[in-house]
Amino acid sequence: MNVIKEKNFSESFQSVLEEISEKCNKCGLCSKDCEFLKFYGLPKDIAGSFDINSKKGCLMPFECSLCNLCSAVCPQGLNPKNMFLGMRRELNRLEKINYNVYSRILNYEKRGISKKYSCYLIPENCNTVFFPGCALSGTRSGKTYDLYERLKKGIPNLGIVLDCCTKPSHDLGRSGFFNEKFGELKSCLVQRGIVEVIVACPNCYKIFSEYGDTIKVKTAYEVIEKNNLSELNNLTGSVNVHDPCGVRFNNKAYNAVRNIIRKSGLTVVETVHCKEKSFCCGEGGSVNYVDNRFGGKWARKIKEEITESKVITYCAGCENFLKPHVPAVHLIDLISEPENLLAGKVKVTRSPFTYLNRLKLKRRLIKNSVPSEISERNNIRSGHKNSKIFTWLRVLISLVLLAVLVSAADPVKIKQSVSGFNGSCLPLVFGLIALSVFISALKWKVLLDAQNNRIGLIRLFRIYVISLFFNNFLPSSIGGDGVRIYLAGKHYNRTSSAAASVVVERAIATISLSLLGLAGFLFSVKPLVIAVWPLTIVLIAGIALTLTLLTGWTPGFIKKRKGRLRDSWVAFSTAAGELKNEQSALLVNLVLSLAFQISVAMVAAAVIRGLGLPVPGMADMFFITSASSVFAMIPAGINGYGLRECAYVILLQPYGFSSSHALTISVLFALFVSIFSLAGGLDWAISKQRDNKSLENSEVTI
């Protein structure tokens, strides 16, 4: 069967397809016990018919458990698992995956690599560390600590690392993210002189053994097996053993686990499918997030082969996933509390308390360590303090500017102005704010539609209100744009297109802002000439940025790089460049941007009216609001606070407004917009609560 030649496929993936297509003899051994292959067909057939643009092609690879049983039974020595993993990577590279369904496991992974949960405790002259993994540390934090102490008896200078190997991203095909984060972890270890890692998690073993390069890896059970373990030798009975997929083909781990069990006095009764031919527990490859029709059958197959009252496994994920189906227990439970294990009295922590356990373990380890041993990932410390200093500096600048303005104003007059605000003007103010947000959503929709990314106007309105909330309550207005990119990209699973639409829209908005301000200047009664120069500079910059984006330009230094940064930039620049052929959409967007700026001027005018003050002409308002927005763009304060108020004081002075009134107008304008944006914060909170509900009710293991 010939392989479909897809021009978008990478060379490495194309070669995998060709190898499977050429060498697979369709013997059927791989599909004998695999429900996934029984349903979709033999590897040769799948390789020859895979269509990455079809719905089936996008779903099918994510229903494979990636357990590698197929390679264990293949007489041709083929590895179909690599083909399905390659499909996932290609779908990720072409941005055809909706990762929203995997938010639970990806959030779990994100916590694992965060500063809050990760910790590196590496003594001087240490060359070996214990890497317990996320799941064991959470479900059995006390036993994890005891295991570390037990390992130190044989390796006194042993260090310990609490971190995540990012296997979820690896299995989901997020190779760019995985290579970056695991590369950081590996670099941290190598820089600290680590040459060997002892793991408790089979999945961590798999990642380190395949991608650890010079770092050697072994399971903790291979080390423990050599200990005396005399405290275990009073048990009687027999047990089955479930071997996790992560250590498939690792005979040393198989033997070590069985020797530990036998040292306890228990007899191991092997199931039909054990060791290298062991079944997946059903959690592999995160298949249960898509459709559990295949994953759930693995557990039932295991249950059919169980002959004893206890099944010992050495993967916290397997134990958790098998528990509802078979009497599964963890090997660590046997080592730490053998009597309770046989009596069925072992207590295991479940989510959300697993996260507290991991923090408790981290605190306990730090408390009992020398301060010089404690460190973090390089990426956590790098630039982190500088970023905080810069943020606090901007906060300080905003506070100083506001303090100066308040001191120069008359507090009594400000209080009187605010208390005297005409409440009947509030519906007009909030109505105009809503109108401005609606126009913003509409002009964004024009660009999204031009990209064939269809999102309803109501949905875009909600996204814009959410982004407005982040604009007002994050230390940068860029934060709101990031939220827009994230939410739109999640909706149609094309982050690069979402980013391109947002950035191009921003660039056009600067043009419209400057044009309206300059037009207002020409017809204004009492304009400040000095404000013309910033407007002109922003106009030129906006035009230059827009033209650059529409050419699809990629900087030379990025072209030379390899990896996620280059791929992301190329995808973004390509998506932006494609908009150059949509002249009508760009023109409509510019017109709507002008309408948005007009609505902003009308909001300011409504605030002035509510204070009972004379409203300048609309041309003057166009000039004042546009010029103040330009000054607020200066990245010297937080969201323009302080800078915007200074601009209002200066620009309104020629119209007879006192500094007290000008300051009040600016502050009330920002206050009303912030109050309106709270609806977006509430919408966001409700959405996040709905998305993370399952995370609060059940444990996630990897």
State the amino acid at position 454 in one-letter form.
R
pLDDT higher for 4 or 538?
538
Residue 481 has pLDDT above 90, yes or no: no
Give me the pLDDT at residue 492, please: 61
Neighbour order of strands in the sheet with 328-330? 267-268, 238-242, 311-313, 328-330
Mean pLDDT along residues 200-216: 95
Task: List the single range of 146-150, 155-159, 574-578 with lowest mean pLDDT.
Answer: 574-578
Q: State the alpha helices, DSSP H only, in 524-658.
A: 532-550, 556-559, 564-577, 583-610, 618-632, 643-652
Give me the pLDDT at residue 530, please: 79
Nearest-angstrom CA–CA distance, 336 and 333: 5
**pLDDT band for position 101 (50/70/90)?**
confident
The pairing of beta strand 119-121 with beta strand 159-162: antiparallel
Nearest Cα neighbor of 623 from 540, 513, 538 is 513
Give the DSSP H or E segment for 387: helix 384-408
Which letter does DSSP use for residue 617 in this model? P
Residue 693 has pLDDT above 60, yes or no: no
Mean pLDDT along residues 393-410: 65
Which letter does DSSP use for residue 231 in this model? G
pLDDT higher for 459 or 454?
459
Question: How far is the CA of 343 from the CAs of 12, 315, 334, 346, in angstroms?
Answer: 52, 21, 11, 8
Give me the pLDDT at residue 700, please: 40
pLDDT higher for 504 or 381?
504
Residue 476 has pLDDT above 70, yes or no: no
Give me the pLDDT at residue 297, please: 86
Give me the pLDDT at residue 554, please: 81
List CB contacts of 348: < 8 A, sequence separation 6 or more.
139, 140, 319, 330, 333
The pairing of beta strand 267-268 with beta strand 238-242: parallel
**8-65 pLDDT, tens per residue?**
788 889 999 999 999 999 999 999 999 999 999 999 999 989 988 888 888 999 999 9
Nearest-angstrom CA–CA distance, 541 and 544: 5
CA dihedral for 124, 125, 127, 130, sign (positive or negative) = negative
Mean pLDDT along residues 532-559: 88
Strand extents, DSSP E, 152-246 = 159-162, 196-199, 216-219, 238-242
Cβ atoms of 644 and 625 closer than 8 Å: no
Where do the domains of the chain lie, and which CATH numbers do they carry?
A: 11-97 (no CATH), 107-224+352-378 (3.40.50), 230-343 (3.40.50), 423-683 (no CATH)
Is the N-terminal amide bond of 352 cis, ω within 30° of 0?
yes
CB atoms within 10 A of CB 157: 12
Nearest-angstrom CA–CA distance, 155 and 158: 5
pLDDT higher for 164 or 415?
164
pLDDT higher for 456 or 432?
432
Cβ atoms of 247 and 199 closer than 8 Å: no
**pLDDT band for position 451 (50/70/90)?**
confident
Cβ atoms of 289 and 105 closer than 8 Å: yes
Nearest-angstrom CA–CA distance, 490 and 493: 5
Nearest Cα neighbor of 29 from 67, 72, 64, 60 is 72
Angle between helices 495-523 and 618-632 (to 10 degrees): 130
Residue 407 has pLDDT above 70, yes or no: no
Residue 381 has pLDDT above 70, yes or no: no
**546-605 pLDDT, tens per residue?**
999 999 888 877 777 666 667 778 888 888 988 988 999 999 999 999 999 999 999 999
List CB contacts of 520: < 8 A, sequence separation 6 or more.
527, 619, 620, 621, 622, 623, 624, 626
**pLDDT band for position 659 (50/70/90)?**
confident
Question: How far is the CA of 89 from the CAs of 47, 95, 375, 484, 569, in angstroms?
Answer: 15, 10, 33, 25, 18
Cβ atoms of 342 and 329 closer than 8 Å: no
Residue 4 has pLDDT above 70, yes or no: no
Task: List the single range of 117-121, 209-213, 564-568 with lowest mean pLDDT.
Answer: 564-568
